[in-house]
Chains A and B, each alone.
Chain A
Amino acid sequence: AQKITQTQPGMFVQEKEAVTLDCTYDTSDPSYGLFWYKQPSSGEMIFLIYQGSYDQQNATEGRYSLNFQKARKSANLVISASQLGDSAMYFCAMREGNTGKLIFGQGTTLQVKP
């Protein structure tokens, strides 16, 4: 069965430093997509970045990059130059094959310190 694991319940990072949020996944489907969402305290789910299982290069979106290691089944999110506004809950999610639904990890709470 498909599964997403985020082992870091909470993380702290100093403003302007980089931080890596871990995500591992398990699936038997060769076709899947991996997503990261940010959920601030206001509750909305904000899409950050996407990585497809067949993508050769790691995805990047501005200050966000995804360290995709397919053999290890990991898809870690790297946030560079952290800002105070980055303080939020971060969810890793997987979309498998043609089902479309997202399976979420438990989330990691990130706090950026000034």
Chain B
Amino acid sequence: AAGVIQSPRHLIKEKRETATLKCYPIPRHDTVYWYQQGPGQDPQFLISFYEKMQSDKGSIPDRFSAQQFSDYHSELNMSSLELGDSALYFCASSLGTVSYNEQFFGPGTRLTVL
């Protein structure tokens, strides 16, 4: 079965550079979530989209922006990167936003900021 696809899997950037992370949800899934997991930390919710509209927002820095496109894939744009942005970034998708729908996670993008 098709899973959530994230690209790239690994990314190395310098401070103050920009990065774009991409997420392709499971076919027919209309909801995408982004999470950030720092070293030794639990995943923290950043932002979510339902039917191409932002549905919820968490602790996402103003330097970050995201959107969901007409084909339901999503991109997380990160500017003025800081050392503290080094983390594993997960995208997850689900069918709708109700509490009993499972969220399927992608393999994650490991971002390292030097």
Contacts and interface: CB of A to CB of B under 8 A. Distances in A.
Interface string B88-114: 101010101111111111011010000
A91 interface: yes
Q: Is the interface of B mostly helix, strand, loop or mixed?
A: strand
Interface string B34-55: 0100000011110010100001
Interface string B59-96: 00000000000000000000000000000101010101
Contacts of A53: 99
A31 interface: yes
A50 B88 CA distance: 24
Contacts of B31: 100
A35 B102 contact: yes
B98 A100 contact: yes
B56 A100 contact: yes
A102 B45 contact: yes
A100 B97 contact: yes
Interface of B: 31, 33, 35, 42-45, 48, 50, 55-56, 58, 88, 90, 92, 94, 96-105, 107-108, 110
28 contacts: A32-B99, A33-B99, A33-B100, A35-B103, A37-B105, A43-B88, A44-B107, A45-B90, A47-B103, A47-B104, A52-B100, A95-B99, A95-B103, A96-B99, A99-B55, A99-B56, A100-B48, A100-B56, A100-B97, A101-B58, A102-B33, A102-B35, A102-B43, A102-B45, A102-B103, A104-B43, A104-B44, A107-B42
